[in-house]
Amino acid sequence: MSSRSSAGGSPSRRLGLRARATLGFGLTGLLVAVVLAVVTYGVARSYLIDQRQSTAERQAYVNARLVRAVLRTPDPDIRGLMGTLGGGAASSSVLQFEGNSYATSVTLGSDVIPDDLERTVVEGHAGHQRFRAADGELLLAVGVPIAAVDGAYYEVFTLDELERSLDLLGRSLTIGVVVAAIAAAVIGRTAAARVVQPLGPIADAAEQISDGALETRLDDNDDPDLRRLTDAFNSMAAALEARIERETRFAADVSHELRSPLTAVAAAVEIIDRRRDQLPPEIVEAFAVLTEKVATFQQMVLELLEISRVDAGTAAMSLEEIDLREFLDRALARHGAPGARVSVDAAVPARVTVDRRRMAQVVGNILENAAHYAGGTTAVTAWAPDADHVRLAFDDRGPGVPTEERDAVFGRFARGDAGRRAGTGSGTGLGLSLVVEHLRLHGGRVWIEDSPDGGARFVVELPVGADR
C-alpha cells in the first residue's frame, strides 16, 4: 500500500469537521463563560465587601459616639457600657481608655487589633483594615479615635459568613462554566451535523461514480447555498462521463481498426518466417526483432480491446465450473512453468465457478509477468480463508516488489522498477491491469505480498459461488 502525507499532517491525526466544530464551540463557550464568571465574581465580591464594610463602619461610628457620651460623664460605668455594646457572635468591641483595654470578647481582644490600624487611630484618624487572625479567620477591624476623652474605640467583625457566600458563588460559577462549555460543545456538534448532512449524498454520489456508475447525479436542491454546489457537481459528473465515453470509444475504435492491418502484417510475417532459411543472415536478425514487435503489438491491441469492453460496460461473463487443480496444471504447462510446485489445500472446493477464458488470462498474465521480470514462478498455492472465498498465491524468484510500487504496478502501461530494468520491450504494460479488471468482474481482487521464498507473492482472491 502506498503512503500519503500532506502539509497539514497525517490524515489519521487530523480532526474531522464535526470534531473541529465541537472543539471550537466548546472552547469559545468556555472562554466566554470564564470571562463572564470572573467578571460576575469580581463585581459581586466587591459589592458584598463594600456593603459589609459600610455597615461595619456605620455601626462602629454609632457605638463610638455612645462611648464618647458615656466616658464624658463624671463617673462612667465602663463595664456596663461594654455590656450594652456587645454585637453578639458577629462582632466584638474593644475600648482603650486611660491606659486600659476593655473588650466584649475573650478571643477578640485588643491583641488582635493590627498595629497599622492602631497607629492610624492614635494619630487621630478613623480607619479600617481586613486581616486574618492566627487561626485563619477573616476579620474586619474598624477604629475610631475618641479625642475628647483621649481614648480609642475599635470594633472587630467576623467575615466568615461573607467568605462562605463568596465560596458558594465561586462554586456555582465554576459549575456554570463547565455546563456552558458542554452546552456550547453540544450545540457545535449539532450545528456541524446539520451542516455536514447535505454533504452525505454528495459523498455517496462520488463513491458511485468512482465505482463506475458514471450516470449518477445529485437531485435538485432547494437550498440556495447548496444549489450552486449541486449544479457544479452534476456538470462535473456529466463532463467526466462524456470524456470517459469518448476515450473509451476512441480506444475501442482504434484497437478495432488496427486488428485488420495487424492481422495481415502478422500473416505476412508468418509466411516469411517459414522461409527464414532463404533470408540473408543480416536480415534474419532484423526479422527476429520485427517478429517480436509484431507479436507484442498484436497482444497490446487485443488487450486494449478487452479493456475497452470492460470500460464500456459491455464485457460479458460466461461462467462455468472448472477443476481448479487441473486448471492450474494446464496453465503452468502452457506458460512455461511446469516445474513450479502446485499445492491445493483440502478445504478448497474441487470445482469453482469462473469465466474460464478470463481466469486463464488472469493466471497467464501473472505467470508471464513472473517470467519476464522475476525469473519465473516457483510455487502456486490455493487455500480457502473462509467458506465463501478461495485464494491463489503465485510465488516467484524475483527480488520482490517495493511496498510503494505494489499498487502502481496494476496500473495501465505500468511496469514498475523491475520492468524498467528488464527494458521497455519486455511487455505491453497492460497485463496486470487486465488481471484487476477480470477479477473485478468476478467479484474478486488481487494484491502483492512478500513471498516466503524471498521474491514477490501475487495473491488472487475469488468468491466460490456463481452468484456475482
**DSSP letters for 297-334:** HHHHHHHHHHHHHHHHT-PPP-EEEEEHHHHHHHHHHH
- Which contacts of 415-422 are long-range, i.e. CB under 8 A and separated by 24 or more positions? 415/373, 416/373, 418/373, 418/374, 419/372, 419/373, 421/373, 422/372, 422/373
How far, rounded to the nearest angstrom, does the alpha carbon of residue 203 sit from its chain's CA centroid? 17
> In this structure, what C-alpha cell is assigned to residue 35?
470571562
pLDDT for the residue 317: 83
Strand-pairing partners, residue 377, are 396
Domains of the chain and CATH, by start: 224-312 (1.10.287.130), 319-463 (3.30.565.10)
Are 220 and 234 within 8 A, CB to CB? no
For the chain (468 residues), the mean pLDDT of every run of 10, in chain order, is 43 68 88 93 91 90 88 83 70 85 79 88 90 86 87 89 90 93 89 80 83 80 79 86 73 66 74 75 75 70 68 75 90 83 88 89 90 89 91 92 88 64 57 88 92 91 72
Helix or strand holding residue 84 (H, E)? helix 78-85
Of 311, 303, 309, the closest CA to residue 429 belongs to: 303
pLDDT for the residue 11: 45
Tell me the CA distances in angstroms from 416 to 299, 402, 410, one per residue in order: 20, 9, 9
> In this structure, what C-alpha cell is assigned to residue 290?
520485427
Distance CA 56, CA 157 (A): 7
> In this structure, what C-alpha cell is assigned to residue 60?
462602629
Are 218 and 211 within 8 A, CB to CB? no
pLDDT for the residue 253: 67
Which position has the grid cell 522475476?
Answer: 374
Distance CA 258, CA 294 (A): 12
